[in-house]
Structure 1
Amino acid sequence: MSRRALTLLLAGFLVLALGVAGAFQPVPYVVLSPGPTENTIGEVNKKPVIAIKGRQTYPTSGSLQLVTVAYQGGPAAKIDLLTALRGWLDPTVAVVPQETIFAPDRTAQEVEEENTVEMTNSQDSATAAALNELKIPYAMVVGVVSTEKGRPADGKLMKGDEINSVDGKETKDVTAVADAVKAHKPGESVTFNVTRGTQKIDVTVQTVAGPQAQTVVGVMMQAKYKFPFDVDINVGDVGGPSAGLMFSLGILDKLTPGELTGGKQIAGTGTITPAGEVGAIGGIAQKMVGAKDSGATIFLTPADNCAEALKSVPDGLRLVRADTLHSAVAALDALRTSKGDVPACEAG
């Protein structure tokens, strides 16, 4: 073999070796793919996804599938270049920069914990929205989640306290409590009436100046609902807020006579507020693929996701626009009875 041929052979081998080594180098991307689906009027692990106690329920049929997105990668388990390249070639998945999922100052564990909290809040909001749609009254209180170490509330307000009033004025939501504190000048005292255990007590806390010169005491609060009956939602390891709409529909279907789906296989997504407003979500393309794979023929789509969804909707999946819980129920009624309008997604 000539020296020239040997040189070319060695150079080719070196390029191949470097290419193989490079393919397995970690890259700062995350692969998003269709995740598992769950029927909110069905069962998971032989337990109802939605279990209602203390109120009459009714038979259901068909399915109301919540859809999810699975991901590979992240700060603790980076994907390699080869995995990213395969993702870029697969039309059913998305490859996105790592920071779009994990902020630079957040760990994977922190993101998972936040998703768990968001799922819990979503379930409460979904229940509240369903009860509002049915005009079933319920109570809401402001609960203390934690206090900030070193701030005046630390050691005075306790986790689990329910705030009844501030300075003698009833407070029904988190915003009202925060506004009542902000009405003070830093250094002034504010009095909270709280329920702690079985007792109602007054707790006086001195205020201090916080970020943006706002008056604070250093307390983290969360709306807590007191529903007239128990609604228990079981979805295993699923996290995040995007199943809110489907939870609300599942609760409504169980609490009302007749079958909301008409026996159809329906999937959907969207956050939900207690007032029944449906919000946009991420990963719509992957969620539609998951819906189609689960057998769904109809996909309830948040209005703000419609334009994006239309670009990659799978064949055989009908997109129905969902602006509110009420409009989603009306759309399902129209689909079931063939009477009335069914709002469709339109390009923005």
Structure 2
Amino acid sequence: MAVLSVGVVLLVVFGVLGAAVPVPYVAQVPGPTFNTLGEIDGEPIITVEGRERTETEGELTLTTVGVSRAGLSLVEAVQGWFDDEVSVVPEETVYPPGRSEEETREANRRAFLTSEEAAEAAALAELGYPVKVVVRGLSEDSPAEGRLQEGDAVESVGGRPTPDLETLDAVLRAIPGGTEVTVAYTRLGRPGTATVTTRSAAELTDGGATGGDAAAEAERREGSLLGVLVLEQPAAPFDVDIAVEDVGGPSAGLVLALGILELVGGTDLTGGSTVAGTGTIGPDGRVGPIGGIQLKMIAATEVGAELFLVPADNCAEALAAPQPQPPLARVATLDDALTALADLRAGRTPVPC
């Protein structure tokens, strides 16, 4: 009886410890989904300014992964290992050492915003719009405040054409700081001009670079600043804005690019079907792998997806999923995704994983 009593006590102790003592693991689960052609709280996820947005009946759904707080209990971790809809992974794979959860969320949010820009660039390139120097933001106390704005394509400075970043940097280096210059731009397809008094490059702060790091370093030595952040990307006669809060990471890029094409490209990509997917995207349209593919497939199944777009490098993991799954289409590029959607509309089987 004494031995039995000790055993019971030990079980209780281990049970309490298992429920209370944290282990260095986190749980990943299927996260919320968002139809990029739809709305959140009454506001469109993708807004188009400068042209009429195409009406569509289908859905292009981006999938996400939900992550628990750091430090599961031992019991929670064990339960997760036996649950097909939970992935238990080392904490450091989600929350890198030396970075707080808040810092990690902020980094993931920045990655999402970068994916938005890449998605827009890839979609506009697919539509054939020319690459130009486009304003993506203004520095603090920018001399161009109220004169230039995000989305403007800078055509010339002081009468000298600026077709690319390298030329723009050369033009600005040749202009003394404090010079009044005329900046010609195109805004939503319409030409315009602005008079800007440049700032000396010697006044450059971390927030006031024009162009990339190399260009910023060159401007520290000589020339002028417009006080704008610019990128080379396709310039369209309309503006696209994407609003999805509380989503981080770059894996929405592919579906965002398809959403833009559906709304401004003139082709009904979904044919009224519900299509889900995932994958990073580069401005050149290349689709990259992501994490949590099997969990995202569960989310796609739950929303009734008739096709799930899988990055080519995730296909092996997708095929190993233990649970039922929607039909999978292997995509390595944006063109592959468009071909898969065309096959779906035509009743053909898209190229599978």
TM-score tier after normalising by the smaller chain length: 0.7 to 0.9
Residue identity opposite 2:201 in structure 1 = V
Q: Which residue of 1 aligns with 2:50?
A: 54
TM-score (norm 1): 0.76
Structure 1 residues 144 and 79: CA distance shift in structure 2, 3 A: same
Q: Which runs of 5+ in 2 are unaligned?
A: 140-147, 178-182, 184-193, 205-213, 221-228
User: In terms of mean alpha carbon deviation, does 246-255 or 47-56 score higher?
Assistant: 47-56
Task: Give yes or no for contact 2:132–2:163 (8 Å, CA) kept in 1.
Answer: no
Indicate the percent of aligned positions where both proteins have the same amino acid.
41
Q: Which residue of 1 aligns with 2:28?
A: 32
For 1:315 and 1:192, the matched residues in 2 are separated by 63
- RMSD between aligned alpha carbons? 3.8
Residue identity opposite 2:91 in structure 1 = Q
Q: Which residue of 1 aligns with 2:196?
A: 198
Equivalent residues in 2 for 1:1-348 (5 A)? 5-74=1-70, 78-141=71-134, 172=164, 198-204=196-202, 217=217, 223=231, 227-312=236-321, 314-338=323-347, 342-345=350-353
Structure 1 residues 8 and 239: CA distance shift in structure 2, 3 A: same
For 1:323 and 1:286, the matched residues in 2 are separated by 20
For 1:224 and 1:52, the matched residues in 2 are separated by 20
Task: Give yes or no for contact 2:108–2:249 (8 Å, CA) kept in 1.
Answer: yes
Residue identity opposite 2:112 in structure 1 = M
Secondary structure of the structure 1 residue equivalent to 2:310:
strand
For 2:257 and 2:126, the matched residues in 1 are separated by 9
For 1:269 and 1:260, the matched residues in 2 are separated by 16
Structure 1 residues 336 and 19: CA distance shift in structure 2, 3 A: same
Task: Give yes or no for contact 1:300–1:328 (8 Å, CA) kept in 2.
Answer: yes
Structure 1 residues 6 and 107: CA distance shift in structure 2, 3 A: same
Q: Which residue of 1 aligns with 2:190?
A: none
Residue identity opposite 1:96 in structure 2 = V
TM-score (norm 2): 0.75
For 2:282 and 2:103, the matched residues in 1 are separated by 24
Residue identity opposite 1:300 in structure 2 = L
Deviations 1:187-206 (A, max 9, x none): xxx95979999334451599
Deviations 1:71-103 (A, max 9, x none): 0122xxx22111111111101211000111111
Task: Give yes or no for contact 1:129–1:274 (8 Å, CA) kept in 2.
Answer: yes
For 1:289 and 1:69, the matched residues in 2 are separated by 10
For 1:120 and 1:20, the matched residues in 2 are separated by 43
For 1:21 and 1:205, the matched residues in 2 are separated by 59
Secondary structure of the structure 2 residue equivalent to 1:36:
coil
Residue identity opposite 1:91 in structure 2 = D
Deviation at 1:222, TM superposition (A): 7.6
Deviations 1:242-300 (A, max 9, x none): 01110111111111334211111110001111111111111101010011011112100
Q: Which residue of 2 aligns with 1:211?
A: none
For 1:61 and 1:332, the matched residues in 2 are separated by 14
Residue identity opposite 1:307 in structure 2 = A
For 2:49 and 2:136, the matched residues in 1 are separated by 24
Task: Give yes or no for contact 1:39–1:64 (8 Å, CA) kept in 2.
Answer: yes
User: In terms of mean alpha carbon deviation, does 16-25 or 83-92 score higher?
Assistant: 16-25
Residue identity opposite 1:278 in structure 2 = V
Structure 1 residues 316 and 232: CA distance shift in structure 2, 3 A: same
For 2:174 and 2:68, the matched residues in 1 are separated by 46
For 1:54 and 1:91, the matched residues in 2 are separated by 46
For 2:283 and 2:92, the matched residues in 1 are separated by 30
Deviation at 1:34, TM superposition (A): 0.2
Deviation at 1:338, TM superposition (A): 3.2
Q: Which runs of 5+ in 1 are unaligned?
A: 147-159, 181-189, 207-213
For 2:291 and 2:174, the matched residues in 1 are separated by 39
Structure 1 residues 222 and 84: CA distance shift in structure 2, 3 A: farther
Deviation at 1:115, TM superposition (A): 1.1
Structure 1 residues 197 and 40: CA distance shift in structure 2, 3 A: farther
Structure 1 residues 313 and 88: CA distance shift in structure 2, 3 A: closer
Deviations 1:20-44 (A, max 9, x none): 2233211110101000001011111
Task: Give yes or no for contact 2:133–2:162 (8 Å, CA) kept in 1.
Answer: no
Deviation at 1:7, TM superposition (A): 4.7
